[in-house]
Amino acid sequence: MARVALVTGGSRGIGAAISTALKAAGYSVAANYAGNDEAAAKFKAETGIPVYKWDVSNYEACAAGIAQVEADLGPVDVLVNNAGITRDGFFHKMGPDQWNAVIGTNLNSLFNMTRPVIEGMRGRKFGRVICISSINGQKGQAGQANYSAAKAGEIGFVKAVAQENANQGITINAICPGYIGTEMVMAIAPEVLEKRIIPQIPVGRLGKPEEIARCVLFLASDDAGFITGSTLSANGGQFMA
């Protein structure tokens, strides 16, 4: 029977690439999304991957959503915590709403999503939890104190929870993408991309969502069973930790 994979933010951008790659590899995939019904419906029609709508910053919504996924597909074996938002602004001008929205979606969601599945994984002696962090969680970024704090928190979460579950057949790892050619990044003014961002990337280009998906496929596989608590940087050499 196919292993079940659940991807948050799984119908657009990097998440969509992860969902489709997992399906192509033989997983039974569920894609969570937050609010873009049109994009989710299009994704489902194009890929055949079922989509489920809930807010990952809300614990009760996550518990109910996961219960529905498991009722439909079976117990979650692979959880990809990919959902994330930005609410950028310099810290001295940042309001509580900007801070709380990003922390809620990007960091609190790790508890909200992982807690409901971890006991089942422990009982079955197998699980893969993969958190999509960011280069800016490793090095920080001006105008993103909220985002950088949340993404750095993801790395700490991975290291702690990995230690607790390593002897139960469960691995928990982080991937830190750099600048990836998603809809969000491609919305940046071309002159900014060409003059300020790409020159910082030693390989000389943006990453592709599919390249992050391939990292997820490896960490979800049996071949990665000895890798846990780790951070995989996929940034074209822009930042080397």
Q: Which residues are catalytic?
A: 147
Structure tokens at 71: 């009722």
Coil, strand or helix at 186? helix
Rounded to whole angstroms, how far apart are CA atoms 88 and 99?
Answer: 9
Range 47-56, long-range pairs (CB < 8 A, 24+ positions): 47/19, 47/20, 47/23, 48/23, 49/10, 49/19, 49/20, 49/23, 51/10, 51/11, 56/8, 56/9, 56/32, 56/83, 56/105, 56/109, 56/112, 56/113
